[in-house]
Amino acid sequence: MAVQQSVGPDPYFPANGDPRYRVHRYELALDYRPGPNRLAGTARINAIAGRAALPEFQLNLADFRIGRVRVDGRQPHYTHRGDRLRIRPAKPVRPGAAFTVEVHWSGNPKPVASPWGGLGWEELTDGALVASQPVGAPSWYPCNDRPADKASYQISVTTPSAYAVVAGGRLLTRTTKASTTTWVYEQSAPTSSYLVGLAIGKYQTVLLGDPGFGGVPQHGHIPAHLLPAFSRDFARQPMMMDLFQRLFGPYPFDEYAVVVTEEELDVPVEAQGLSLFGANHVDGARGSERLVAHELAHQWFGNSVSIADWRHIWLNEGFAKYAEWLWSERSGGRSAQQLAAAAHRLVSSLPQDLRLADPGRKSMFDDRLYERGGLAVHAVRCALGDDAFFRMLRGWTLLHRGGAVTTATFAAHAARFASEPLDEVLDAWVYGTELPPLPTQSMPPMPLAPPNP
C-alpha cells in the first residue's frame, strides 16, 4: 500500500481538515428516523498526532447539538462554531501519539452550502442519500475532512425496518429488533471522508451477474418498479468490471454496489465501493451506460488512488472520462481516438484558460476539466504506445493503492514507462492552458479480447 503524503491545508478549502494529525479509523453508530429527519450519532475516532504536540485540534461537523466530547476518556474544552469543532484536550497530545476522540451529536441533518449547491446529507421524499464530494461529509458526521486523510470505517445505522440501508463496504450484520433494524457495514480499505456513501430507502436488492464473474460481488439496490429498466441498463456492468480489471489491475475493494434513488440526480456520484444514480439515469435503453463506466472507473481512480488535495482533481475525472472511451472502444462502440476528436472539437470552442494541474476552486467541476482530462490521458497513451501505457496504468493503481497522489507523482510515474521524455506532452496538456493539437495514435489500438458476453 502507498504511504499517504503529508500535506498542509487544502488551498481550495483551507477551513476543511486539520493536517496536524491523521485518522486511522472511524466507528460511527447512527440512529436515523426518516419521518422527522432526525439523526443521532456517536463517533469513535482513532487518530495519530503528527510530528508536533497537539494542544488543540479540529474536526469538521455541521450545526448539530453536541451532547458529549471525550479525548482518551477525559473531558476536553471545546467550541463548535462555523462547522468547526475545536477541541483542546486536558493534556496536549504528544508528537506521534495515538489518541481517541468520542463525539455524540444529534439534530436534523441537511446539506452544507457550497458553490455547487447543497452537499452531503439530503433528505429524500422517502429516505435519505449522502453525496459529499467535495466537502459534504461534515453534514452528517464529525471528520477530518481532507481527501488525503484516509481511514477505515465501521458504520452502524439503525432505522425503521421498512427501510434498507446501503453503505460502501461489506455488510457485517443486519439485526431486527421490534420495529427497527440495525445495519453494520465495514470498509477496511483506506477511505477519504467525502467518499463515505450512504443510502436509506425502500430498495430491492439484486445480484449483477455471476458473483464469480471478475471475482467481485456486485449488487444493485433499486426501487422495485425500476427493476426491468435497471436490468437492461446495468446488464453490461459485470463486463466492464472484467475489462477494467484487465486494463487497470485488480478491483481494489471487496465488492461493488450501485444504488438508484426514486428521485432525479444531476449527475451520478461515486463513493468508495458504491455509486449513486438517480431515477433519470435509468431508461431501459442504456442511455447512461457511459456514466456506469465512469463511476465504476472511479473505484480505481479517485477512490483507491486518491488525491492529496483538490488541485489534482483531474487525476480523478480525467481517468474516469478516459475509461468511458476505453469501454466504448473495447465493447464495439466508437474508438478512443474518435471520442478524443469529438472532445477536442468541443474544448476548442470553449475558453482556453483552464489549467488541469490547478484549475482553481471555481473550475473543479467544469466540463472542460473532464474533457481535457480525458484528452491529456489520451495524449499520454499516444506518446507511450498501448503496451507501455497499460503497463503504466496497472503500475499506477498497484503502487498507489490506498494512498494519495499529486500531478507531480503521476508525471514521475508515467516518465518511467516512456522511451522519450514526456515533458512536452505534460507541459502542453496538464500545465498549459492553450489547447494543443489533437493527439493521434501511431498504430491501431492494441488487440484485446472483447468483454465476455
Backbone angles phi and psi of 116, in degrees to 5: -110, 20
Determine if residue 298 is labeled as part of a ligand binding site: yes
Question: For 202-244, where are the E strands, in sequence order?
Answer: 204-207, 218-222
Interatomic CA distance for residues 423 and 429, integer angstroms: 10
3-state secondary structure of 391: helix
Contact (Cβ atoms closer than 8 angstroms) between residue 48 and residue 20: no
Q: Which residues are catalytic?
A: 295, 370
Interatomic CA distance for residues 307 and 312, integer angstroms: 6
Bridge partners, 107 (sequence order): 39
Helices (H), 274-385: 289-297, 314-330, 336-348, 367-384
**Local structure of residue 74 (DSSP, 8 states):** B
3-state secondary structure of 51: coil
409 contacts: CB under 8 Å, gap ≥ 6: 400
C-alpha cell at 99: 489518541
- CA distances for 335 relative to 145, 212, 342, 373, angstroms: 39, 29, 11, 17
Determine if residue 317 is labeled as part of a ligand binding site: yes
CA 133 to chain centre: 7
Between β-strands 180-191 and 151-160, what pairing exists: parallel, antiparallel or unpaired?
Answer: antiparallel
Determine if residue 294 is labeled as part of a ligand binding site: yes
Among candidates 150, 406, 399, 397, which has minimal Cα distance to 251? Answer: 397
Contact (Cβ atoms closer than 8 angstroms) between residue 188 and residue 291: no
Annotated binding site for Zn(2+): 294, 298, 317
Q: Which residues are annotated as a binding site?
A: 294, 298, 317
